[in-house]
Amino acid sequence: MKSLEIKKDIFWVGAVDYASRDFHGYSLSPQGTTYNAYVVRDEKNVLFDTVKHEFTGTLVCRLSKLMKPEDIDYIVVNHVELDHSGALPRMIELCKPEAVLCSPKGKSAIEAHFPGWEAWPLKVVKSGDSVSIGKRSIRFLETPMLHWPDSMFSHIPEDRLLISNDAFGQNIASSERFADEIDPAVVDHAMTEYYHNIVLPYSPQVLKVLGQIEEMKLEVDMIAPDHGLIFRGKDAVRSCLETYRRFAEQKTQKRAVIVYDTMWHSTRKMAHAIAEGLNDAGVPSRIMDMKDNHHSAVMTELARCGLVIVGSPTHNNGIMPFVSAMLTYMKGLRPKNRLAGAFGSYGWSGECVKILSEALQGMGFDMPVDPVRHRCVPTHETLGACHAMGKALAEALIARCDEG
């Protein structure tokens, strides 16, 4: 088990978690994830972040190949969430650092997580603070809500290295450590998935941080996040920043996602008729049955879609539970700038489209076309109405996108 030198005297000492499948409701299937931690060797040796608790031994092993743990002088806690600080108590015990550096909110989070923190040499740093470690310095930038209030970046200007914690992360478990070592489409998908399942609600804060990176004229030719692969080279860094700006601005395409559940295939037939209407009007779509798709996958698909259409039969005077769970998850992630539609079948009471419409409008989505609902098995006429609904929604989406 080795560390990996990512720049001269800067090492990756993290852990690859092939088995993890859930991150507070976000499905990590089938990839797993990584918990990246980094060591800088200088007059003061610094450990940036740690790993999830069960990987403490891995971190200690990789670190020990470089130096004795007690040779670490500073530990930087860029983020207190336990996937990065689970090993912190043990590392403080082993390393006995002179200082544990964290943001003001980081100190508060440490106090709330770790009994015995009073004995730790906590030192609060703020945006713009710089700490000399010898030939290098560490400059800090608080990045609140990326992805917790305490989060911060560590910039090492002498190496043009940005240690970005959760930001620019991807949930990928692999032997490779650099993004340029694997298929760019895989990296792009993983970044899209990660952003839209974790970072999306904090898009206004992302835009603020991107502005600060420009204002501060941070020189960066490597972004080292705490999850997934490292981006090296100025082109890769520029591409990362542009991708995050595009995600945060929630720019979408002339595409739709149709999400539904069904009991006896009536709502499914309606979904397919709507898709045909969309397609005939020039808007491609993906149909996602919630029995076969995780709500995380819906959010990843929604990343590029300007239109979301949701269907459910009426079920016990409500909607189907998988659809309900998906809507709850989606609402929390605060997608913006979408059009929406609703449809569904029913047996007697028929509340489905009302419930769906209220949920979609509650997320701020415009619904320019009346929902379609049908009692029991859809007739030829009803499927025609679904087709017309798809076509009308496609036309509304195209007009909206063309308006800019």
| Contact residues: ligand FEO, CB under 6 A | 79, 81, 83-84, 147-148, 166, 226-227
* Residue 14 CB, nearest approach to ligand FEO (Å): 12
Least distance in angstroms from the C-beta of 166 to ligand FEO? 5
- Helix, coil or strand: residue 374: strand
Kindly name the residue from 42, 79, 193, 261 that is annotated as catalytic. 79
User: Is there a contact between 258 and 287 (Cβ–Cβ < 8 Å)?
Assistant: yes
CB of 304 to ligand FEO, least distance (A): 24
28 versus 320: smaller Cβ distance to ligand FEO: 28
Query: Can you tell me whether residue 360 is helix, strand or coil?
Result: helix
Annotated catalytic residue, options 26, 35, 38, 194: 194
- Taking every pair of C-alpha atoms in the chain, what is the biggest distance, in angstroms? 77
| Nearer Cβ to ligand FEO (166/261) | 166
Catalytic residue among 42, 49, 73, 83: 83
Q: Which residues pair with 100 in a beta bridge?
A: 75, 122
CA angle at 290 for the pair 300 and 369, rounded to the nearest 5°:
80
Let me know if 147 is a catalytic residue.
yes
How far is residue 213 from each of residues 142, 147, 153, 216, 311, measured CA to CA in Å? 11, 17, 10, 5, 42
Catalytic (active site) residue 81: yes
Position closest to ligand FEO via CB: 81
For residue 79, whether the previous peptide bond is cis, meaning omega lies within 30 degrees of 0, is: no
Considering beta carbons, is residue 198 or 327 the nearer one to ligand FEO?
Answer: 198
| Shortest spacing between CB 52 and ligand FEO, in angstroms | 9
Whether 24 sits among the annotated catalytic residues: the reply is: yes
Buried b (16+ CB within 10 A) or exposed e, 40-72: bbbebbbbbbbbbeebbebbbebbeebeebeeb
Judge whether 79 counts as a catalytic residue.
Answer: yes
The CA distance from 42 to 9, in Å, is 8
Distances (CA, A) of 367 to 118, 308, 326: 54, 10, 18
| Distance in Å, CB of 226 to ligand FEO, minimum | 6
- Active-site residue, from 73, 166, 193, 301: 166
Residues 172 and 225 sit within 8 Å (Cβ to Cβ)? no
Q: How far apart are CA 326 and CA 310, in angstroms?
A: 10
Residue 227 designated active-site: yes
Euclidean distance between CA atoms 317 and 330, whole angstroms: 22
Contacts of 283 (CB under 8 A, 6+ apart): 254, 255, 256, 307, 393, 394, 397, 398
Is 118 annotated as catalytic?
A: no
Minimum distance of ligand FEO from residue 137's CB (angstroms): 25
Instruction: Tell me the β-bridge partners of 232.
Output: 222
- In the complex with ligand FEO, the residue whose CB is nearer, 3 or 33, is 33
User: Which of 17, 49, 73, 81 does the annotation list as catalytic?
Assistant: 81
Cβ proximity to ligand FEO: between 17 and 81 the closer is 81
Closer CB to ligand FEO, residue 197 or residue 293?
Answer: 197
CB nearer ligand FEO, residue 299 or residue 339:
299
Nearer to ligand FEO by Cβ, of 83 and 301: the residue is 83
Q: Min. distance of Cβ 110 from ligand FEO in angstroms?
A: 14
Residue 266 C-beta: closest distance to ligand FEO, Å: 42
Quick one: tokens of 39?
């060591």
84 included as an active-site residue: no
Within 13 Å and on the Cβ side, how many CA atoms surround 284? 4
- Between CA 142 and CA 77 the distance in angstroms is 12
With contact defined as beta carbons under 8 Å apart, do 257 and 305 qualify?
yes
Which one of 49, 73, 74, 147 is the catalytic residue? Answer: 147
Indicate if 202 belongs to the active site: no
Q: Which residues are catalytic?
A: 24, 79, 81, 83, 147, 166, 194, 227
